[in-house]
Amino acid sequence: MKLILSPTKTMVAATGDHGFSRGTPEFEREAGQLIQALRPMDFSAVQALFRTSDALTRKTCDQIRGFEEAESGPAIFTFRGEAFKTLAPESFNREQLEFANARLRILSGLYGAVCPMDRITPYRLDFSTPLKIGKTGLKVFWKKRLIPYFEEFLGPDGQLVNLASDEYSTVLSSDFLRKRTIGIQFRERTDGRLKNLSVRAKQARGAFAAYIIQNRISRPEALKQACIDGYEFEAELSSDQEWFFIR
């Protein structure tokens, strides 16, 4: 069993190797290609592309210009958004980090997909950014690279637990991957109704990934028996390819 998470826009340059040799991202060359596509843009073009405030635009321009010289660190400690707060990788021991590095892939607008201990540099780029590489949009650029990568990653009999957002996971759209992927959906009981609350869903994705890693879960079926951060499996809402967990 393998699993995927979305990245986050909140990033901090991670330091230290946590006892590991830092890995090299599989698509490091492509990341450099995307940085080169961004580099000729001036402040106004960057602001229009990312739709950011003046302060965020200045920060993004600095990241682009200084990318090669910037601090890099393990991806799992670089991302700092809601899912990674509940993932809490700083609490993992060495065996759990090794399990995560083997089983978890973090999707990325700049790097495509990274192992948790791959060294990355903070950036601002996601699959919805309307960047063109030649005549190709970013999502198409990554789709033709990530589908064969994940088909090999899963192997002939593997299953993929999808803890990523639709923005990222929909790029893995081959028939092979769709048949092997279990999408995890989270809902909250609020005022007698089931609601999809964005921030809580992000937190739940991190909590589920943490549970899988800490307990070294190798079969998706084990999740159906668990109560994770108050979420429990709801069979009546679920299908073979989409599982609902309700809190």
Structure tokens at 98: 């090794």
What does the alpha-carbon distance between residue 201 and residue 207 come to, in Å, rounded to a whole number?
10
| pTM listed for this prediction | 0.95
Contact 233, 243 (CB under 8 A): yes
C-alpha span between 77 and 188 (Å, rounded): 28
Q: How many domains does the chain fold into?
A: 1
| Strands of the chain, DSSP E | 2-5, 73-74, 104-108, 112-114, 119-120, 132-133, 136-137, 160-163, 181-190, 193-195, 232-233, 242-246
Give 107's strand partners: 113
pLDDT band for position 92 (cuts 50, 70, 90): very high
Q: What is the pLDDT of residues 137-174, one digit of tens each?
A: 999 999 999 999 999 999 988 999 999 999 999 999 99
pLDDT digits (tens, 9 = 90+) for 3-15: 999 999 999 987 6
Distance CA 121, CA 202 (A): 22
Tokens of 231: 């979420």
- C-alpha 161/C-alpha 52 separation (Å) is 33
Do residues 164 and 225 make contact, with C-beta atoms less than 8 angstroms apart? Answer: no
Range of the domain at 35: 2-246
pLDDT by residue (tens digit) across 180-212? 999 999 999 988 899 999 999 999 999 999 999
Give the separation between CA 53 and CA 122, rounded to whole angstroms: 18
